Structure formats: C-alpha cells, structure tokens
Amino acid sequence: MKLALLALTLSTAVSGCVTTAALVQKQDVKLPLLIGATVGDLVVSSVAASQVQDYSYGASLATGLAITAVDFAVGCLLGGCSSLRL
C-alpha cells in the first residue's frame, strides 16, 4: 500500500508537464516543448497507472490519455498552446 501511495504521489507531481510549461513560459511555449511535454505526460501517467492499479496495457494507455488530455486542456487555457495558433 505504501508503494502504491508513493507511486501515485510521484506521478501526480511529475505529470503536469504541459501545465507547468504554460505557467513557466507563459505565451512563449514553442511547439517542440509542447510535444515533448505531452509525450512525457502520457508516458508518466501510463506507467504510473500500470504500476499502481495493475491495469492492462490498454487500460494504462487509456488512463494516461485521459490524464494527458486534462493536462493539455488546462495548459492551453493558461496560454501554453499559443504556438498552435488556436
């Protein structure tokens, strides 16, 4: 149980890559940084989901995509998607 809590805490702290980029860079987030933050967020979230809940590969990927979508949306609301010209 302690290992699961530690993994969940660590993944929560690390998985806000797009939001963090938007907060730090404001309107100056470049496309490579946005792509790297999105991929990093997806990988961290998927691995954490598979380790904490013993999900299958598909369930881990779906959980990672859901968390990444929320993080991407929050990051765009904060101005991180200015490089996409949305």
pTM: 0.77
How many other CB atoms are found less than 10 A from the CB of residue 8? 15
Sequence letter at residue 55: Y
Structure tokens at 2: 């302690």
Which residues touch 75 (CB under 8 Å, ≥6 apart)? 18, 19, 21, 22, 37, 81
Provide the residue range defining the domain that includes 48: 2-84
pLDDT in 10s for each residue of the chain, 86 residues: 566 666 666 666 666 778 888 888 877 888 888 888 888 888 888 887 787 777 788 888 888 898 889 888 988 888 888 887 76
In total, how many domains does the chain have?
1
